[in-house]
Structure 1
Amino acid sequence: MTPPVFLAEPDELARDRVVLSGAEGRHAATVRRIVVGEVVDLSDGAGTRARCVVTSVGKDTVTCAVEERTTDPAPRPPITVVQALPKGDRGELAVEVMTEAGVDTIVPWAAERCVTRWKPERAAKALNKWRATAREAGKQARRSRVPRVADLAATRDAASLVARAELGIVLHEDTGVRLAALALPDGLAEPDSNGIVVVVGPEGGFTDGELRAFDEAGAVRALLGPTVLRTSTAGIAALAVLQTRCGRW
């Protein structure tokens, strides 16, 4: 089994000795019950990984001796999922499973037919929940790169992302084009590629205006399969298909 991953600041990873403290230290010492002599990986969440050996454990601190540092390359092509806001805690579920599956960026989208609304007074709290979920799920998945959770997007913002992508995809049941058979453009894996953007609609479906905006941005519509998935699970299914087809898996 690969070593457990904990997050540290970039300047801390540059040292030969790193002390995990605060919430991360408590999690390592109390929740994970890390012991002296155990091997752990520390990461800055942006690709740097330090392989360490634990030298001491306190009540809420873990001291690690760095033995090796590496930088994991960013996966190519980058994959972004524009996620319509699901109901209740299904938003955090979507973030969790997509992070485990390897998504690079998640963009919460306020689609017109979303039941959930991030009102101004609670938007920051809701967004922080998504970001905290991505952080914890990234550690659970042993990732050295925590996916970016962008600010809440309106339809015009989501359409702009699609327009800049090498390939923009709208998951929709009203098409005969299967995602598993969708033609992929050349140059997806190039260093300067803007990659793939996948748009996952709300439980109530897309409005005509939203579909028109994505069509005008150059998106193609693709069908996942013969069944209708919930908005909180469609993203991970699409990720699995695309990562397999792009060679990321």
Structure 2
Amino acid sequence: MAHFYILESLESASVGSEVVLDGSEGKHAATVSRVRPGEKFTVGNGRGLVLTVEAESVSKDCVQLRVLHVEHKERLQPKIILVQALAKTDRDERAIEAATELGVDAVIPWSASRSISKWDGPKIEKGIARWSAIVREASKQSIRAFIPQVHPPVTSNELAQVLSGADIVVLDPTGDVPLSSFIPTSHQIAIIVGPEGGITETELDTLRNAGATIVTMGNNILRTSTAGPAALAIMNAKLGRC
């Protein structure tokens, strides 16, 4: 039961029905995982539907499955969004990967004032595709029923408007309150993480004016790749999302 495959085209299924695992997932199951007839594992559609299945036949790029159990998962509440500043090397990618494993619902790439990495022109589409692939694979690894949504990148000027209606939590060493003391008031929480150089005073003022709470997670300064997942773990425990 260790294998989990995602088949986005799957809309519904019933016990005893047949499902075909094809495409890249079918090829991976057949040639890399070497699934054999009689083997049981799980398949999901990334939108809450999870099936327990048994392989009936296997070809080089396709596995015929029989459905043994059907489950419709519910999203955890409240919804948590990670606004991750673009960062150099792969630090932003490591952040969204770990956040996915910890149950984040959506990620927003943020082109912060001090972001070294920039998404311009064709890099925007490429970056979204890259992040989408990362959260998809992390969802498979952690056997998540829901794949986090990857939003288009935003600038600092757009951030407050995009997050309208959400409880905005900004992680910063100058925070007014500990994150562990933060009490959400809406069904949606946005956790904002700055780049390596930090969030500028202008950005902090803009976010404060939009109703954001500037929070701290203690005396240690965390990397941009660590802060978001650490904050998500704290909020999961605090809100019973574990």
State TM-score, norm by structure 2: 0.93
Structure 2 residue 226 is matched with structure 1 residue 233 = yes
Partners of 1:91 and 1:153 lie apart in 2 by 15
Q: Residue 238 of structure 1: SS of its match in structure 2?
A: helix
> Identity over aligned residues, as a percent?
38
Structure 2 equivalent of residue 170 of structure 1? 170
Partners of 1:34 and 1:13 lie apart in 2 by 23
Partners of 2:10 and 2:178 lie apart in 1 by 46
Structure 2 equivalent of residue 51 of structure 1? 52
One-letter amino acid of the structure 1 residue matched with residue 172 of structure 2: H
Structure 2 equivalent of residue 8 of structure 1? 7
Q: Is the 8 A contact 2:56 2:66 kept in 1?
A: yes
Residues 225 and 32 of structure 1: CA distance in aligned 2, closer, same or farther (over 3 Å): farther
Cα offset for 1:3? 4.2
Q: Residue 56 of structure 1: SS of its match in structure 2?
A: strand
Q: Is the 8 A contact 1:50 1:69 kept in 2?
A: yes
Shifted more, 174-183 versus 102-111: the winner is 174-183
Shifted more, 238-247 versus 207-216: the winner is 207-216
Q: Residue 232 of structure 2: SS of its match in structure 1?
A: helix
The structure 1 segments of at least 4 consecutive aligned residues displaced by more than 4 Å after TM superposition are: 10-13
Q: Is the 8 A contact 1:13 1:43 kept in 2?
A: no
Structure 2 equivalent of residue 137 of structure 1? 138
Pairs within 5 Å for 1:110-189: 110-165=111-166, 167-185=167-185, 188=186
Residues 184 and 65 of structure 1: CA distance in aligned 2, closer, same or farther (over 3 Å): same
Q: Residue 92 of structure 1: SS of its match in structure 2?
A: helix
Q: Deviations over 1:22-65 (max 9, x none)?
A: 21112212222222212121111010111111111222221111
Structure 2 residue 214 is matched with structure 1 residue 221 = yes
Cα offset for 1:13? 4.2
Count matched residues.
240
Q: Deviations over 1:58-80 (max 9, x none)?
A: 22221111122221001001100
Structure 2 residue 200 is matched with structure 1 residue 207 = yes
One-letter amino acid of the structure 2 residue matched with residue 228 of structure 1: I
One-letter amino acid of the structure 2 residue matched with residue 99 of structure 1: T
Any gaps of 5 or more consecutive residues in structure 1?
Answer: none
Partners of 1:13 and 1:120 lie apart in 2 by 38
Q: Is the 8 A contact 2:176 2:213 kept in 1?
A: no
Cα offset for 1:11? 4.3
Q: Residue 136 of structure 1: SS of its match in structure 2?
A: helix
Pairs within 5 Å for 1:67-146: 67-146=68-147
Any gaps of 5 or more consecutive residues in structure 2?
Answer: none
Partners of 1:169 and 1:224 lie apart in 2 by 12
Q: Residue 164 of structure 1: SS of its match in structure 2?
A: coil
